[in-house]
Amino acid sequence: MRKSLIAVAIGATLTVAACSDKEATQAVNETAQTEQTQAVEFNQSNPFYAESSLPFHAPDFSKIKFEHYKPALLAGMEAHSKEIEAIANNAEAPTFENTIVEMERSGALLSRVASVFYNVAGSNGNDQTRALQGELAPLMAAHGDSISLNPKLFARVKAVYENRDSLEGEALRLVEDTYKGFVRSGAELNEEAKDKIRAINTELSSLTTEFQRNLMALAKENMVIVDDKAQLAGLSDTEIQQLADAATAAGHEGKYAISITNTTRQPILSSLENREVRQRVWEASAYRGTGNTETDNRPLVKRLAELRAQKAQLLGYDTWGDYVLETSMAGSPEAAQKMLRDLVPAVVSNVEAEKAEIQAMINSEGGDFEVQPWDWAYYAEKVRAEKYALNAEEVKQYFEFNRVVEDGVFYAMNQLFGISFEQRDDIPTYGDNIRVYEVKDIDGETLGLFYGDWFTRDGKRGGAWMSSFVSQSELLGNKPVILNNQNIKKAAEGPTFLSFDEVSTMFHEMGHGLHGMFSDVMYPSLAGTSVSRDYVEFPSTFQEDWMLNEKVLNNFAKHYETGEPMPKELLDKVMAAKNFNMGYDTLEYIASALLDFEYHTLTPEAAASIEDVAAFEAAALERNGVAIDAVPPRYKSTFFAHVFAGGYSAGYYAYMWSEILAADAFKYMQEQGGLTLENGQKFRDTILSKGNSKDPMQQYIDFRGQEPTGEALLERRGLTTPKID
């Protein structure tokens, strides 16, 4: 979270998703400070007043209450502002130590509170936390601007930057990164332009917060209520009971409630036999936020695209995409779009072949209709079962939650890196079903703490993500306290079984977790996952493939009752089927990534002229050759949280870019012996420990010996035939 705080100081938006005129800013800050004085006094009774006494300064949730957040956050902003003013007004000549390093030390209180509040708001939020987020958004934006647009502070940063010849390594990287951040935030603009930037940042912060709050509201507004149990044919008794419990909790006693998850495609569609219910579920998902219920995100989509385009042009860039990708590995929107568009012909060809198989299945069962989006997953499972004689429910019996965690994810990380996870029941958490582990290195030394918040709950945002309560830093003497979130539905009683995708996601998020856990840098701004968007997903995607390593799979894929390993016949089917429907999976992703660029390569005038979001989206998909009715984008505009509420605007392509790195790296590691401590140590030394202390491509070359190629990606996704020598 420390990185997020420094990011505010250079004009970014404060989020926990990955993952935010001088007189005008002062007026906002003074208002906040006045509200603080009038509202709640911040004193020693507030648990945020001092660092937590728990191991590694983990938050003490046995003491933290909602009413503690606001006064602590306001006090944190006030304290941080005073620290920054002291640095900016230092009478001594600017040096690396008295300017850059002091900035790194500043903001301890704000960082301490923000890391807890925003994590809890995303993982266990409610109406109170969402309201406070909305209230804080403009204040946090103004606070960030008061730092990044402070002329005295920037003059000192610039002086250190211009005299950086004596610096090297991490210190040089930090100076260059800090200077670039100030410039990209508008530090060199005139006062009139700075005023416009401040106003835009304030509105952007409020709108992205509103978009995220709206998604929570839409989840309730678009819940599908089913009256008759018979309409749920195809679901297991356990799944039906979960829907009944959800309905009761929502005030629909005796009925069944199907909640909508974050993507367009809904997992339940692969099992529901009733076509009418499938259509209801899909439409509830695909049309949310379009004005068909009380909450309408369309105005936010248009305004966010317009504001970002305005900000980019004020800062000297043609479009928001040009601004965002300047500091990425891709370098430009054109390079990222080319990477995506080059894949489209092969992907669409695969989709058409998959569609033909699904239509044939529909026809063979007497279905007098053409496959629609709500049919695809259901009939794809039938095709999968016929082609591979694979029953997804049978496979789940070998993916029991506890075994996946202990004997799968933790085991794989032990085999590759020598680390171990010891559960700590003495450390309080912020919600139910959260586990805390002390992570120990191969030599027994403690690396930090890991929180596993894997189960869904009311108030948790959709998807899966990694964050931190404390980021590693040698300067501050901090060891990492890392958090993984997922949205697995916990069985009401008995064992919880996971799908193939849920297991893969758990390995993925652990990859992010280890990127934070293995961080070994001096300065907090460069720690852990503080890297470009198209690099941050590389270490996590890389870890996914260990799920299917024979040694790992044999260790955890055991029948929940008998403990017997997954039979070789079934395992062979799983391996053969793992790339089934990959054309669909890839196209729905590419469509969303290209849609992201369509919004974020607009001029302000073009963005302002959008009259119909749905029509713009349809035209964008058509323009890019990805408009296939039965395969909608993974995220449609009005619930595309990554780009309209998170930190991935003009950056959703990053998952595919990072997958190129991951596939190439994993293939290389297999050539070097696979799952060995030697290989793990090399990956840790060159990639996972470096954070942003070294150029990402140079990190990759240090590991691999060369830049990556895209061949391994197509092989990984089963979209081409591997070459055989």
- Give the integer Cα–Cα distance in Å for 606 and 454: 42
Q: How many C-beta neighbours within 10 Å does residue 12 have?
A: 19
CB 465, CB 458: distance < 8 Å: no
Residues 6+ positions from 299 with CB-CB distance below 8 Å: none
> In the chain, what is the straight-line distance between the N-terminal and C-terminal CA atoms, in Å?
48
Report CA 435 to chain centroid distance, whole Å: 20
Place of tokens 């007497």: 366
State whether residue 497 is helix, strand or coil.
strand
Q: Write out the H or E segment, with its range, that includes residue 291.
A: none
| SS3 assignment for 498-551 | CCHHHHHHHHHHHHHHHHHHCCCCCCHHHCCCCCCHHHHHHHHHHHHHHHHCHH
Q: What is the DSSP letter of 170?
A: H
User: Within a 13 Å sphere around the CA of 538, how many CA atoms are in the beta-carbon half?
Assistant: 28
Written in H, E and C, the secondary structure of 18-40 is: CCCCHHHHHHHHHHHHHHHHHHC
What's the 3-state SS for 660-698? HHHHHHHHHHHHCCCCCHHHHHHHHHHHHCCCCCCCHHH
Decide: 579 and 632 in contact? Cβ < 8 Å.
Answer: no
- Catalytic residue numbers, as ranges: 509
376: Cα within 13 Å, side-chain hemisphere: 25
User: Which are the contacts of 166, defined by CB distance < 8 A and separation ≥ 6?
Assistant: none
C-alpha–C-alpha distance, residues 608 and 602, integer Å: 9
Distances 333 to 184, 186, 212, 606 between C-alpha atoms, Å: 17, 21, 25, 17
Q: How many CB atoms lie within 10 A of CB 50?
A: 11
Beta bridge partners of 423: 437
How many CB atoms lie under 10 A from the CB of residue 541?
Answer: 25
- Which residues make Cβ contacts (< 8 Å) with residue 94, sequence separation at least 6? 155, 156, 157, 159, 160
Q: Which tokens hold the place of 385?
A: 């079962």
Q: Could you give the CA distance from residue 417 to residue 442 in angstroms, rounded to a whole number?
A: 7
